[in-house]
Amino acid sequence: DPQRIAVKPVVGSTNDEIKNDLLSVTLNPGYGLFSEAQTAGRGRRGKSWHSPFGSNLYISIYWPLNEGINRAMGLSLAVGIAVAEGLIELGMEDVGLKWPNDVYVAGHKIAGILVDIESCYDGSASCVIGIGVNVNMPDSVGQKIDQLWTDVAKQLTGQWSRNEIAGVIYRHVIEQLTLFSAEGLETMRKRWAELDVFINRSVKLLMGERIVQGTCRGIDENGAILIESDNNIVRYFGGEISLRAA
């Protein structure tokens, strides 16, 4: 159904493609764009996202957020839960989330999420949710990735096609977004804590020049990360979290 999903052989970035579409057409909430490759795939923090043809998943989903930009942080966390749940449904074990929304399997990153938000004058916002899932990363590309990574092929024994994986993940994301728009993050906090790879561990949060150290205590109702130090819990909305060396 072209009103709901589209599949393309190659685009610059599926996020940019949807953002561009939005300038001229009205898209249905939940519209999903799947591409076989990206020539300008984007990661968070201005990094590029390696997007070779036919080996991984590059998905973007349009989702309007009537409640506006304040809830965007929560939305990106909700999507992380959905991608994790999809991988778990496929049979993957040791699936976890690194705040705000990196998906890890056994300590290696398997999927990343990039949410682009455009604020509208009426206070609402329009979100383009980009999801990249490593399915069968070519070694030549994997060598260029500057962090520990894994893919579906390394974790499961080939019983799923890329289409099936895409379908399962897309379904989970739509379900979770629908729930999020109805109820917010509150009902999801417990699940997030279960999947949080850093919960109750000693972490450091890097925010530009500033470093905060403490114990990770999960997330608050808006999706901010909670870090405890000196018996005091403080919430942070940004930064790069990592484990603190013992």
244 counts as catalytic:
yes
Tell me: does residue 100 bind ligand BTN (CB under 6 A): no
Nearer of residues 58 and 192 to ligand BTN, judged by Cβ: 58
Candidates 32, 96, 132, 214: give the one binding ligand BTN (CB under 6 A).
132
Tell me: does residue 162 bind ligand BTN (CB under 6 A): no
Stretch in the footprint of ligand BTN (CB under 6 A) among 35-43, 66-74, 86-94, 229-237: 35-43
Question: Is 154 marked as a binding-site residue?
Answer: no
CA dihedral 44, 16, 117, 151 (to 10 degrees): -40
How many C-beta neighbours within 10 Å does residue 33 have?
22
Tell me: does residue 219 bind ligand BTN (CB under 6 A): no
DSSP per-residue string spanning 21-81: HHHHSPPPTT-EEEES-BSS-B-GGG-B----TTTSEEEEEEEEETT-GGGHHHHHHHHHH
Closest CA to 99 of 118, 81, 119, 117: 81
98 counts as catalytic:
no
Question: Is 35 marked as a binding-site residue?
Answer: no
Stretch in the footprint of ligand BTN (CB under 6 A) among 63-71, 79-87, 126-134, 153-161: 126-134
Annotated binding site for biotin: which residue ranges? 13-15, 38, 42-44, 109
